[in-house]
Each structure stands twice: as structure tokens, then as C-alpha cells.
Amino acid sequence: MPNPVDEFKQARKQVKALHKAFPRADYLTGNHSALPSRQAAKLGLPEDILVDFKTLWGLEGWTIHPRYADLVIDDVIYRHGDKGKGGLMAAYKNAIAEFKSVVQGHLHAQAGVVYHANGKDCVFGMQVGCGVDHNHPAMNYGKVYAAKPIVSCGVVYSPKVAFVEPMFM
């Protein structure tokens, strides 16, 4: 990575492309996108002195949800994935804990849909992997782990039917 200023410029280009492809979106703030406010808090600075996320990245038409938010659409919970249960099969465990279908990211090396049923209902836990290139220097922190990111895309048809499509690049 060249330096923080150039990295920001490169990131802005990528965000612009995503915004063009998806002019309307719900964005769930994660641990990485919360870094500026986390750093400000560490220094004892109020979050109010920061430019808000939507303005910073030019995201007109997007709804930005705060960190740890649960967005519920058609009885399916969408969350970043850095809360609730973690470890292997985290989305599945969260679906059981909520007894509601759960879609989450955060855990780069997991992807898939696992169902759980009792006598009355059936829910799924969907782990959507991520969209990162693990060979990029920004991902150097993951070099020590054997499991690598799975680039994938999740599609939810209903609270009962969902698919994850892995994408090998």
C-alpha cells in the first residue's frame, strides 16, 4: 500500500464503482468501516468531529446502518457478523440462537447455507464469505492463517430458501 492518502483515493474509486452498480443499498457497518470512529474514540475524540460515512464516500441513495445493527427484511436478519456467536458455522449457530434465518459476513473464510428445523419451523444461517483479494497487501494480516477468504455472493429468495455462489477468481 502506498500511503493512507493514496489508499483512500483507491478505495474511493472502488466504492464509486459499487455505488454505480448498486445505486440503492442497505450498508451494514462492520468492524473495518468503523475504524475511523474506533480510532477517534481511542484518542478520546467525539465522533461528531468526523465526516459521516455516507458523506465521506458519496453514498446518496444508500442507507447506512450502525455497527452491530440487525436489519430485518421479510423475516430474515442481516448483520455484519461481528456480534452473537462466532467460530465455525457461526451463521448457523446465530440462526438457532435467534430462531430466525440469519445472513452474515465478517468471517472471510466461511461461506454457505445450513438449515435448522424443529417440529414447527425451519430457518437457515447463511455465511456470505467476502469480496477481498487475499493476495493484496491489505490482507497481509491473514497470511498466518491456513484458511483463506472465500469470495462469494449470497441470494435470499425467502426466509426458507437461500443460496451462496462461490466465485473463484
Residues near Fe ion (CB under 5 A) are: 30-31, 106
Instruction: List the grid coordinates of 84.
Output: 452473537
Distance in Å, CB of 158 to Fe ion, minimum = 26
Distance in Å, CB of 4 to Fe ion, minimum = 20
Query: Looking at beta carbons only, is 101 or 104 nearer to Fe ion?
Result: 104
Query: Looking at beta carbons only, is 90 or 156 nearer to Fe ion?
Result: 90
116 sits in which H/E element: strand 111-117
Query: Looking at beta carbons only, is 93 or 106 nearer to Fe ion?
Result: 106
Query: Looking at beta carbons only, is 101 or 110 nearer to Fe ion?
Result: 110
3 sits in which H/E element: none
Which amino acid, one-letter code, is at 150? Answer: I
Distance in Å, CB of 166 to Fe ion, minimum = 19
Distance in Å, CB of 130 to Fe ion, minimum = 8
Q: How far is CA 148 from the centre of its chain?
A: 16
Closest CA to 37 of 57, 10, 67, 12: 67
Which residue is at the shortest CB distance from Fe ion? 106
Half-sphere exposure for 122 (CA within 13 Å, toward CB):
7
